[in-house]
Structure 1
Amino acid sequence: MVYLQVLANGLTLGALYACLAVGFSLVWGVLNVINMLHGSMIILGGYLTYFAWLHWQVHPLVALLPVSALVFLLGWVLQAGLVNRLVHRPVLTTLTVTFGLDLVLYNAMNVLFDATPRRITLDLGTLALGDVVVAWDRILAFALALALTGLLYLVLRSSRAGRAIVAVRMDRDAAALMGIRIHRVYAMTFAIGAGLAGACGALMAMVFPVTTNLSGLLLDKAFVVCVIGGLGTVPGALVGGLVLGLVESFAGHWFGPQNAVLVGFLLMLGLLMTRPTGLLGRRGYE
């Protein structure tokens, strides 16, 4: 029965990984920009949620939408004001710019909040199903992470703005000829990725301590999920996140938690050598 507990832990972790990576994957797939700022945006969302809960007693589920909206606006301003000017430059240029912005945000959070780990403690109790015990805060985080990922999928498939984003991802030149304003789509996509990062940070603060020291690790996780699932697709991020969560959960049980991250990176390297498009990626897509 211990494996059912490991499975439950892996699914919970995997849903958070999917929510963590889906915005990163979308920005990379549509803009061809590797957003090095993504991990710090997740931590920013976690910090904002924590301090709203600590000082104003705002429940994290209530704070989720305002926090996501604030980080969404931050992403829109950064993309429209700076990244859009460089988006057609070589990928190394935009990577360097987002890396510099990450350093600014990372150090600003260290100055304003310091790097002390912080976690929201809700004391909601646990759900016991036989020998499997899962905390309710993890169940809520799991459900909301899946809901946010599914909501993005629906937006991309059914809304006018979502179809414009998909069109630009598939062929930006053809999309421009059809009257789609490419730079506006870029700004919207970057902002959606930032908003999802903020929402993910709010959910993570309910489950794990958040600190600026985790920003680099979270960015690494986003890379791994994109490689496993496939770049630029919501189903790819969902599958990649769940696979990585399950692999790390079982690897932690078998080889010790200190080796779980290593096994995840080994899986990424194996896929890069055997299936570089990922589990759900399309051959030939750049």
Structure 2
Amino acid sequence: MAEFLQHCVNALVLGGTYALLGIGLTLIFGIMRVVNFTHGELYTFGAYMAFVLGSLLGLDFFLSLLLAATLGVALGAVIEFVLLRPLKGADIDTTMLVMIGAGIAMQASEQLTWGGVAKMVPHPFPPDPLVFGPVAVAPVRLFVLGVAVALLVAFYLLINRTRLGVAMRATFQDPDTAALMGVNKGLMYTLTFAIGSGLAAIAGALLAPIFLVYPTMGDLVSLKAFAIVILGGLGNIAGASIGGFVLAFVEEFGAGYLSSGYRDAMGFLLIIAVLILRPQGLFAAKERIG
């Protein structure tokens, strides 16, 4: 039982950041119909910004996380304005090729700037784990889980309880009608891509103190983000949230009870099963945003 509870806690910590990744990707696809192949690199960007701000510039750890997320939002807005906006009306193949090229360019830039040596991001939390009965949890992991859950709640409120959220959902459902009602479609697209990018960046910044930071760290993460979107159903934000936790639990328990070498394979075996048995996703709904 102690081992089971420990795996549950580990999966919850990882699931929170997976959910942030999945929401960011499905938000962009749901509203903009863009398959964002830079998502993993935006995750890497957030991790490197946490390293630069916290380690090289010596800023406060918590301020570094906030600034890393802000820079991720800004970079997302630039990508949308410079790369995607000129492609408005282009076929999906062209858009995909541009985004793939942007992802490759971003990774090459990180490799050139920081080299291939992995970096460590220091944090102010004590190294000794907190013990709750049979479960031991590092304080930094509890912090990551708390921030991830808070961000998920904040994002839910943004989408469902604010005028901006209404405008974003309206743009998703019927862009032309939303424009007739006074919604600025161009602004909605920029905000959507910026918010989705910021979620990827903060996920990378949050996990940077737990894992090492290196230029290719976004490759597998990008694949997992797409897997989460498939699990939740294309464009289903609630499904992406749940899908992130489902993937984390499958990986954690597969690694714990079968073999750690198959951690990543377990998640993708689940995706194959979902595509065969329920190709619309586990949590597909008629309304795919909200």
Q: Normalized against structure 1, the TM-score is what?
A: 0.95
Distance of 2:202 and 2:255 partners within structure 1: 27
- Indicate if the aligned counterparts of 1:176 and 1:182 stay in contact, CA closer than 8 A: yes
Aligned partner of 1:49 in structure 2 is 50
Distance of 1:23 and 1:144 partners within structure 2: 16
AA matched with 1:8 = V
- Indicate if the aligned counterparts of 1:141 and 1:207 stay in contact, CA closer than 8 A: no
Aligned partner of 2:21 in structure 1 is 20
Aligned partner of 1:98 in structure 2 is 99
- Indicate if the aligned counterparts of 1:225 and 1:240 stay in contact, CA closer than 8 A: yes
Distance of 1:173 and 1:244 partners within structure 2: 36
Distance of 2:146 and 2:179 partners within structure 1: 37
Distance of 1:149 and 1:233 partners within structure 2: 14
Distance of 1:281 and 1:175 partners within structure 2: 24
Deviates more, 1:171-180 or 1:152-161: 171-180
Alignment match of 1:205 (pick from 192, 202, 208): 208
Distance of 2:288 and 2:279 partners within structure 1: 11
- Indicate if the aligned counterparts of 1:16 and 1:145 stay in contact, CA closer than 8 A: yes
Distance of 1:74 and 1:95 partners within structure 2: 18
Aligned partner of 1:234 in structure 2 is 237
- Indicate if the aligned counterparts of 1:39 and 1:215 stay in contact, CA closer than 8 A: yes
Aligned partner of 1:186 in structure 2 is 189
Alignment match of 2:145 (pick from 142, 147, 150): 142
AA matched with 1:114 = G
Aligned partner of 1:223 in structure 2 is 226
Aligned partner of 1:171 in structure 2 is 174
Shift of 1:284: 8.9
For residues 183-214 of structure 1, give each alpha carbon's deviation from its aligned partner in whole angstroms, at most 9, with x where no partner exists. 21111100111111111111010211121222
Match status 1:263 vs 2:266: yes
Query: Gaps spanning 5+ residues in structure 1: where?
Result: none
AA matched with 1:225 = I
Aligned partner of 2:8 in structure 1 is 7
For residues 144-175 of structure 1, give each alpha carbon's deviation from its aligned partner in whole angstroms, at most 9, with x where no partner exists. 11111221111111222221111111222221
- Indicate if the aligned counterparts of 1:228 and 1:271 stay in contact, CA closer than 8 A: yes
AA matched with 1:245 = A
Distance of 1:88 and 1:285 partners within structure 2: 23
Query: Gaps spanning 5+ residues in structure 2: where?
Result: none
- Give the aligned CA root-mean-square deviation in angstroms: 1.7
Shift of 1:78: 1.6
SS of equivalent to 1:128: strand
SS of equivalent to 1:35: coil
Distance of 1:239 and 1:93 partners within structure 2: 31
Distance of 1:150 and 1:93 partners within structure 2: 35
- Indicate if the aligned counterparts of 2:11 and 2:249 stay in contact, CA closer than 8 A: yes
Distance of 1:284 and 1:57 partners within structure 2: 45
- Indicate if the aligned counterparts of 2:236 and 2:285 stay in contact, CA closer than 8 A: no
Distance of 1:218 and 1:257 partners within structure 2: 17
AA matched with 1:201 = G
Count of residues paired in the alignment: 286
Aligned partner of 1:76 in structure 2 is 77
Aligned partner of 2:68 in structure 1 is 67
SS of equivalent to 2:49: helix
- Indicate if the aligned counterparts of 1:149 and 1:234 stay in contact, CA closer than 8 A: no
Shift of 1:285: 6.3
Match status 1:248 vs 2:251: yes
- Indicate if the aligned counterparts of 2:45 and 2:204 stay in contact, CA closer than 8 A: yes
Distance of 2:137 and 2:57 partners within structure 1: 28
Deviates more, 1:123-132 or 1:275-284: 275-284
Shift of 1:283: 5.2
Distance of 1:283 and 1:76 partners within structure 2: 29
User: 1:284/1:203 Cα in 2 relative to 1: closer, same or farther (>3 Å)?
Assistant: closer
AA matched with 1:269 = I
SS of equivalent to 2:130: strand
Deviates more, 1:94-103 or 1:48-57: 48-57
SS of equivalent to 1:184: helix
Distance of 1:75 and 1:284 partners within structure 2: 26
